[in-house]
Amino acid sequence: MAKIDEIKEYLRKLDNLIRNNAEFTFLDVKFVKKTKVDDLLCCFIAVLPDKYKKHLKEKHGKRLSSIIAYQNMHKALVRSFFFSKSLYMVEYNVVLKNINTIMLMIERDIAFTEKNEQ
């Protein structure tokens, strides 16, 4: 369960980064430093169990709720800004919705992958 707490903590940090530490906001897009987002995503992926990561990497594998939410979040999170390659254009409403979904479903989905991959 400690892993679940770490995973949720990194998601909270990502949520906080997007909400409070954006360089600027324009309409429904927040511009966030690429290095900060990449660091948090790297830490998030690092604490995931190996069996869950295997499902995360599969393109047409089992469709778990948290994996679908992660893929949607990732698409809305890591879009390069054409004027500055050091910023991401983040669709924050999409990202925050998917962070909430991941936080709700991650524990169940990790338990599912651990049980079925024995």
Note the pLDDT of residue 55.
83
Domain chopping of the chain, boundaries: 2-116
Note the pLDDT of residue 16.
92
Q: Amino acid identity, residue 5?
A: D
User: Which residues share a beta bridge with 24?
Assistant: 31
The Cα–Cα gap between 71 and 67 comes to 6
Query: Beta strand pairing status for 84-91 and 24-26?
Result: unpaired
Note the pLDDT of residue 63.
78
In tens digits, the chain (118 residues) has pLDDT values of 558 889 999 999 999 999 888 788 888 888 989 999 999 999 999 999 888 888 888 766 567 889 999 999 999 988 887 888 888 988 999 999 999 999 999 999 888 888 876 5
Note the pLDDT of residue 60.
60
Note the pLDDT of residue 2.
59
